[in-house]
Amino acid sequence: MTIRRLSLGLCLLIAWTTVSTLGFASERRMTPVVRAIQRVKNSAVNIHSEKTTYGDSLFSSGKGRKVNGMGTGVVVDERGYIVTNHHVVKGVDSLRCVLYDGSTYMAQVVSFDSNKDLAIIKINASRPLPVMPLGTSSDLMLGETVLAVGNAYGYEHSVTAGIVSSLSRDVEVNEKQSYQNLIQTDASINPSNSGGPLINLDGEVIGINVAIRAGAQRIGFAIPIDDARKTIAQLMSIEQLNSTWHGAITEDIKSPKIKELKVSSILPNSPAKIAGLNRGDVILKAGDVNVTDTVDWERGLLGHRAGERVPVRVKRDEKELDLEIVLSSSNGRVATPIAQSVVTPVAAQPESSIARTWTLLGMNLAQLNKSNSTLQNSRYRGGMRITGIRPGSPAEKNGLKEGDVLVGLHIWETVNEENVSYVLDHPDFGKFAPLKFYILRGKDTLYGHLRVLAQRD
């Protein structure tokens, strides 16, 4: 009897020791990499597509053949909005998304920007989806650990690790697609990782994976999230998806210690103006969404119809204020510029200038002077750098890109904002259509014609 009791005691001791050892091992293995992946894994989406391709030969059957494609996406709103690369969804017949738990949903493309190679797709999920937190790329360090999550070669939710190899890389993929200011990493970004997240050890998206160097190993690239954020906000704007508008022009303030959204300007007679929003306000909440950037701001207003009251909380002079914004229909007007700057706030342009250039041409402009390297050794006295392009605008449709320098409209030079305003306010403006433009792109002077809208604010 005594021996049996002793044996039972030994068994309990061994079992307790084993459990304790396993618990210690699990704690030891919970590295920063593991914690980061656990934070984002449920917000990464595997994308499967099908498209029909047709042969170029005169003797082809004309029936076409089905081609399967793959990519990755990031959940940016709990209602099923997902960001990915435009080249992942371009021309597809169908899209199927697989979440981390294995659930599958059909998706549709709701908006895209081909120049920025970003698109928003949507699934009708049976539950609210976890949103992947967006970080900042402004403070990235060479050698910093980064992680890529994606649908590598069809192996869903694959994780690779590496470092930031370089910053501000310009990459030309082909004659039709080039990228500026990319993050270079040696984390393996395999085919089908396109559109997926590059994250830091805090489990925040710091880039959208976009390209690999063909024939090279461990050379991949990602769009910095501070660049992508502006495009995502435009693609998810209530003007783009809901046909409503607010009229608040905002700027993202991003640093290691500060993540907030500040109002830089309010358009006259806009819902934001009527609601009492002021320049300098920090937007804290819109609807049910806590706001830290432009994407949150648009998400908070998304889904509300014209005439609906949406609660908005702002911080003004260190005090929190609760306001209500009544959204208006955007029919008959064109989209508001979403953001003017990221990381470092800049002085806002005059409201009328912002509104006219954005509404009529679809671009934001910043003045350059002759000492700028782009203008040196050219015959132009100055120009206006294009800092933003509105999707679907005359500027986008005519191939203008961020970084181009506008040096002329119609028969006049565009050295400054006054020159641009002179053209747009000209009494014969309607007779200029289509409006001829001249730009500098690298060392080349290019020209084209903008079919501008007849309406002017």
Task: Decide yes or no: CATH 2.40.10.10 for domain 39-55+63-123.
Answer: yes
Give me the residue spans of the domains in the chain: 39-55+63-123, 145-228, 238-329, 349-450
Mean pLDDT of 185-208: 89
Task: Report whether pLDDT(367) > 70.
Answer: yes
| pLDDT reported for residue 290 | 94
The tens digit of pLDDT for each residue in 10-45 reads: 343 334 444 444 455 577 888 999 999 999 999 999
> What mean pLDDT do residues 244-257 have?
84
The CATH topology of domain 238-329 is Pdz3 Domain (2.30.42)
- Position 369 pLDDT exceeds 90: no
Assess whether pLDDT exceeds 80 at residue 52. Answer: no
Give 189-252 as a 3 state SS string: CCCCCCCCEEECCCCCEEEEEEEECCCCCCCEEEEEHHHHHHHHHHHCCHHHHCCEECCEEEEE
Answer whether residue 283 shows pLDDT above 70. yes
**Mean pLDDT within 353-370:** 74
> 54-100 pLDDT, tens per residue?
554 444 445 567 788 888 999 999 999 999 999 898 888 889 999 99
Written as six digits, the tokens of 9 are 């005691």
**pLDDT band, very low/low/confident/very high, at 347 (cuts 50, 70, 90):** very low
Architecture of the domain whose range is 349-450: Roll (2.30)
Whether the pTM exceeds 0.85: the reply is: no
Q: What is the mean pLDDT of the chain?
A: 80
Classify domain 145-228 at the CATH topology level. Answer: Thrombin, subunit H (2.40.10)
Q: How far is CA 15 from CA 4, 11, 22, 24, 444, in A?
A: 17, 6, 11, 14, 76
Kindly list the catalytic residues: 87, 117, 194
Q: What is the pLDDT at residue 346?
A: 34
Position with higher pLDDT, 354 vs 296: 296
Identical fold, 145-228 and 238-329: no
